[in-house]
Chains A and B, each alone.
Chain A
Amino acid sequence: MSTTTDLGMPVSGLRSVPHLPDDADKQTKRDFTSDQEVRWCPGCGDYVILAAVQSFLPELGLKRENIVFVSGIGCSSRFPYYLDTYGMHSIHGRAPAIATGLATSRADLSVWVVTGDGDALSIGGNHLIHALRRNVNMTILLFNNQIYGLTKGQYSPTSKVGQVTKSSPVGSVDSPFNPVSLALGAEATFVARAMESDRAELTTILKAAAEHRGTALVEIYQNCPIFNDGAFEVLKDRTQQEARIVRLRAGEAVTVGAEGERKVLVRQGSGVMKFIAEAEAASGEKGAVVVHDPALDDPSQAFQLSRLDSPEMTHVPMGIFRQVDRPTYDDLVRAQVDAAVSTAGGPATDADLTDLLLGRDTWTVG
């Protein structure tokens, strides 16, 4: 039996999930809103993400009962309680593992993981990287607020060096993870970043992530108004955001800044990427203009783009870094079982079980 199977890529991540019939009533945000009172702090960025997800899910046209949200522990992980789908609020860091078991044993489900920077990158780091390398068909929403909120304000694996928190009164000495770089290093096939406050962009990315067959990781910058307020303020501030946010668009040059002040990303001879003034870039003497291509098989360029980010947030790329097709773990696991079953002529019967129990070496008494 072959160990790999040609699955006829690419196919949608939602291929095997039952959709609503064409004549069904259109779903609305209300259909996805549970009867539970939402209990995040006033002003929490999670409200915005919840509203965006509840509003966007009807667009997928899926049967609501075939959608499952699995979360870990942390403020963000309360998310499933507020969605009227199937859901599991599990234990700290383990949601990707639980979702792997569910997604692999049930091809007909659209499986979502909601996690935070502490849940996904600290206690659950191992499960995250293995889900990404396996490429299990699910979508991971990583709410990054650069702080531990639910435990009341300790530094997280994405907090800045020097960040003063309850557990780092004279500044954190931990070097932070860049979640996008980490995901690309773990062979992720879909990696994106969005701002909680940019509903249109977030929705576009969520849709692409849901339709991606494989593990899609979406990092969402999310403000914690209580313990890390304003962490992303420079990106939300209209006077600064244009100069800081690098909007990644497939097939377009990578640029930053408003019309007239625009800078263009070029690759210099040494391979290093650098933003230079648009006027300087035209000649090509200062390097080749970098054109974004998330479908590149080689993740190097996507990784380099992820490194444009810095704690000062001078240039922060947003959008889809990588979007490639690779066979998914769950499809391959199911294909091996299906192949074994069909080669044997169908599901095991009582007679097949009898043969199994008897084995090859029996003797009879009496």
Chain B
Amino acid sequence: MSSKTVQTLDRVVIRFAGDSGDGMQLTGDRFTSDTAALGNDLSTLPNFPAEIRAPQGTLPGVSSFQLHFADHDVLTPGDAPDVLVAMNPAALKANLGDLPRGATIIVNTDEFTKRNLAKVGYSDNPVDDGTLDSFHVHAVALTSITVEALAEFPTLTRKEKERAKNMFALGLLSWMYTRPTTGTEAFLKSKFGARPEILAANLAALTAGWNYGETTEDFASSFIVPAATMPAGTYRNITGNTALSLGLVAAAHRAGIPLVLGSYPITPASDILHALAALKRHGVTTMQAEDEIAGIGIALGASFGGAIGVTTTSGPGVALKSEAIGLAVSLELPLIIVDVQRGGPSTGLPTKTEQADLLQAMFGRNGESPVPIVAPKTPADCFTAAMDAVRIATTYRTPVFLLSDGYLANGSEPWSVPSVDSLPDLTVEFASEPNGVDPKGEPTFHPFLRDEQTLARPWAVPGTAGLEHRIGGIEKADVTGNISYDPDNHDLMTRLRQAKVDGITVPDLVVDDPSGQARVLVLGWGSTFGPIAAATRVVRNAGHTVAQAHLTHLNPFPANLGEVLKSYDRVIVPEMNLGQLSMLLRAKYLVDIRSHTSVRGLPFSTVELADVISTTLEELS
């Protein structure tokens, strides 16, 4: 047994960084799963280039995965890593600036060759030229030790052996932080079951990494991060894209109607298509369309037929779908448009996060074309948001935007899995009989006779005898749905469509202010919830008071929003855009907003937001 010391920590942030072919995302995923199984609370941030394999060893090719885990509740993936695993010089150079002094760096010295150093502009080797003096550096020949450890696998090529170095790194980190590797072993068995040699080599590399930590003197101690105290429940770790997919399936299940997805592949939304395509057993139909427009067309066609039609995309795809969204507004059929936002404009930053599609979702169509918007606040909240989007779509017969983003999509956190009974009942009622009489006194069907409460029109699906009717994008007469160019009718229908969306029931905004004395409110929407909550915690821990509230419904806004805004001296709105929510709030409520914005393709850091709050508090004092 090892005679090494074991220290207890309350939280750790680890960043795995390497070339995009080094398997860093997988390594991070596995470490996360094993950490979740230990009962730590956690939050993750994958960060990878848009290129599948950017030129090897270059800065643009660096892929990283950051994990924050703790013995208490975790709100963000962490501002700065305590530990950086750098598989090559590019990974070191790209991430060094984020490290606080005293951080631990594990470098794969095998990759620190003259050639690789030159590729990223290092003239000397930073590992031994003093550059890293203020850090704890573990220089480990990761590649060659892995290859050596796999000497007993003569049929494997050197390249295949080298490829297992990420498992060596995972084994080493698992030893350092006392994580079990049984989950990873099971994972490898299912992944490489058909290739026993590769499986055995990966398992051997994992063990070798663990043993390396335990036996070499380089690593003096290992660490324990005890389990967090979390509410009772059954938990799993979940990414936003997975949670969103499950939310859609659960909603269709609770609605008792089929889920039909029409989608065209686009980063970072494609994983929802992949997830749903694998759920045929749950009656889910997925169609990969020829383009973005066909994707929404397929979904809308399915909705006409009585399914819940869904299309998934990112900002550029929304631009292409705009005309069809307008059609759905006019047809008044249920439809879900999932926009997993990424950096824009145009192709922008396909793999990075941003919140700059809010105004596109609000207004990006011709004519007066209101569409409800739901925006999840954490990866796990994507489940709830997806279910609520389906509630709104089916209750009010309207397209609904579900605004996720790259950070939520790929980030993960533990999720307390709800029981099916506790999920909302979304039972749908289709029209089944005539609802009016024609001029001759015969029973007839009026496709635009609205429900007095919701203003929703009846959903009469083909196959229902006696309710044959035609709908379309041309303005329709109130009640009868016949084509109408009448000026007063268009004015009425435009106002009815707006009133319907304005009248959607959404939960009131809940303000978190433990002191009850706060004069400053921080209001966010979407994925900024974690960083804002973490920042308010920092500020409160320093003895100040600040209130926090978070919008998950952006159209319509919660009924009490205006009242909340007016009850604070200052309202700070941080957004990963140039102030889109701020603009809406100023326009609607005539209140001053302190807009704080950043579009770096990364979530806000806690420190940055805590500074903004503190500065505002100082101004008031």
Contact = CB atoms under 8 A, between A and B. Distances in A.
Contacts of B33: 361
A358 interface: yes
B97 to A, nearest CB: 34
A103 B485 CA distance: 31
A343 to B, nearest CB: 8
Interface in A141-168: none
Nearest to A105: B302
A86 B323 CA distance: 22
A85 interface: yes
Interface in B204-239: 230-238
Interface stretch (A94-102, A206-214, A222-230): A94-102
Contacts of A98: 297-298, 300-301, 304
Interface in A23-59: 34-36
Given A97-B298, A100-B294, A365 B482 contact: no
Interface stretch (A232-240, A300-308, A332-340): A332-340
A337 B246 contact: no
Contacts of A352: 281-282
A270 to B, nearest CB: 37
B305 A105 contact: yes
Contact of A86 (B250, B327, B469): B469
B420 interface: yes
B417 A102 contact: no
Given A65-B468, A89-B473, A358-B236, A101 B280 contact: no
Nearest to B294: A97
A337 B280 contact: yes
B236 to A, nearest CB: 5
A77 to B, nearest CB: 9
B508 to A, nearest CB: 28
Nearest to A347: B283
A81 B470 contact: yes
A33 to B, nearest CB: 12
B470 A364 contact: no
A337 B236 contact: no
A90 B280 contact: no
Nearest to A77: B472
Contact of A100 (B37, B281, B287, B417): B287
Nearest to A69: B470
A339 B307 CA distance: 20
B280 A91 contact: no
Nearest to A338: B280
Interface string B426-462: 0000000000001000000000000000000000001
A184 to B, nearest CB: 19
A143 to B, nearest CB: 17
A170 interface: no
B60 interface: no
A191 interface: no
For the side of the interface on A, what is the size category? 35 or more
A344 interface: yes
B598 to A, nearest CB: 34
Given A36-B482, A365-B231, A365-B232, A97 B420 contact: no
B30 to A, nearest CB: 11
A341 B470 contact: no
A356 interface: yes
A35 B183 CA distance: 67
B479 to A, nearest CB: 14
A345 to B, nearest CB: 10
Contact of A362 (B236, B246, B280, B289): B236
B405 to A, nearest CB: 23
Given A100-B298, A102-B305, A353-B420, A88 B331 contact: yes
B417 A341 contact: no
Contacts of A109: 305, 462-463
B462 A337 contact: no
A94 B327 CA distance: 11
Nearest to A101: B301
A249 interface: no
A298 B301 CA distance: 33
A365 B260 contact: no
Given A65-B465, A86-B468, A336 B291 contact: no
Nearest to B465: A65
A180 B354 CA distance: 46
Nearest to A87: B470
Contacts of A354: 419-420
B39 interface: yes
B417 A358 contact: yes
Contact of A364 (B233, B238, B297, B465): B233
B293 A94 contact: yes
Contacts of A90: 297, 300, 327, 472-473
B129 interface: no
A15 B304 CA distance: 21
B233 A337 contact: no
A366 B299 contact: no
B253 A101 contact: no
A66 B327 CA distance: 23
Interface in B274-321: 279-285, 287, 289-291, 293-294, 297-307, 309
B421 interface: yes
A120 interface: no
A81 B483 contact: yes
Contacts of A101: 260, 262, 287, 297-305, 309
Contacts of A87: 469-472
B489 interface: no
A80 B472 contact: yes
B313 to A, nearest CB: 14
A104 interface: yes
Contacts of A86: 462, 468-470
A193 to B, nearest CB: 25
A354 to B, nearest CB: 5
B294 A126 contact: yes
Given A333-B285, A340-B280, A362-B417, A100 B467 contact: no
Contacts of B417: 357-358, 362
Contacts of A340: 280-281
A140 interface: no
Interface string B560-589: 000000000000000000000000000000
A192 B37 CA distance: 62
A84 interface: yes
Contacts of A103: 301
Contacts of B298: 97-98, 100-101, 104
Which of A35, A65, A344, A350 has the most chain B CB atoms inside 10 A of its CB? A65
Nearest to B34: A361
Contact of A361 (B183, B285, B468): B183
B356 interface: no
A348 B462 contact: no
Contact of B471 (A89, A362, A365): A89
B285 A362 contact: no
Given A65-B467, A86-B470, A363-B36, A357 B237 contact: no
A336 B258 CA distance: 15
Interface string A58-91: 0000011111101001000000110111111111
B324 interface: yes
A353 B253 contact: yes
A280 interface: no
A359 interface: yes
B418 interface: yes
Contacts of A261: none
A163 to B, nearest CB: 29
A336 B246 contact: no
Contact of B235 (A63, A339, A344, A365): A365
Given A94-B324, A348-B283, A358-B417, 7 more contacts: A34-B470, A64-B468, A92-B323, A97-B290, A105-B305, A365-B230, A365-B232
The 6 closest A-B pairs by CB, nearest first: A366-B232, A101-B301, A89-B472, A97-B297, A101-B298, A340-B280
5 contacts: A65-B463, A88-B331, A94-B293, A105-B301, A106-B306
